[in-house]
A and B are shown apart, each in its own frame.
Chain A
Amino acid sequence: MRIDLLKKEKIKWEGITDFRELYKYLKLWLEDNGYADERTLEKSYIQRAKPEGQTQLEIVWKSKKKRSEFFDYHIDTTILVLRMSNVEIQLEDGSKRKMKKATFEIRVASYIQSTKKWDQLKGLQKLYHEFFIRKRIDLYIEQLYNKSRSYHSYIKKFLGIRD
Chain B
Amino acid sequence: MVLTRELKIHPSRGIRITYHGVIEIDSLYKGIKEWFNENRYDYFEKENTEKNRPEGNLLIIKMRAEKEIDDYVRFRLEVDMNEILRVKKLKKGYSGEARIIVRGFMDLDYRGNWKSLPFLFYLYNNIILKKKIQGYYWGKIYDEMMDLSSFIKSTLGIIE
Residues of A participating in the B interface, judged by any CB pair closer than 8 Å: 6-7, 9-15, 103, 145, 149, 152, 156, 161-162
Contact = CB atoms under 8 A, between A and B. Distances in A.
A12 B42 contact: no
B50 A12 contact: yes
Contacts of B48: 10-12, 156, 161-162
Contact of B46 (A10, A149, A161, A162): A10
Interface of B (DSSP majority class): strand
B22 to A, nearest CB: 17
Interface in B47-68: 47-52, 60
Contacts of B50: 12-15, 161
28 contacts: A9-B45, A9-B46, A9-B47, A10-B47, A10-B48, A11-B47, A11-B48, A11-B49, A12-B47, A12-B48, A12-B50, A12-B51, A13-B49, A13-B50, A14-B49, A14-B50, A14-B51, A15-B50, A15-B52, A103-B51, A149-B43, A156-B48, A161-B50, A162-B25, A162-B26, A162-B29, A162-B30, A162-B48
A9 B29 CA distance: 17
Nearest to A155: B48
A6 B135 CA distance: 32
Given A12-B49, A103-B51, A152-B45, 13 more contacts: A6-B44, A9-B44, A11-B47, A11-B48, A12-B47, A12-B50, A12-B51, A13-B49, A14-B49, A14-B52, A15-B51, A145-B42, A161-B48
Interface of B: 25-26, 29-30, 42-52, 60
A15 B30 CA distance: 23
Nearest to B33: A163
Contacts of A152: 45
Nearest to B60: A12
A145 B44 CA distance: 9
A13 B46 CA distance: 14
A10 B49 CA distance: 8
Contacts of B44: 6-7, 9
Contacts of B25: 162
Q: Kindly name the residue among B25, B29, B45, B52 whose own CB sees the greatest number of chain A CB atoms within 10 A.
A: B45
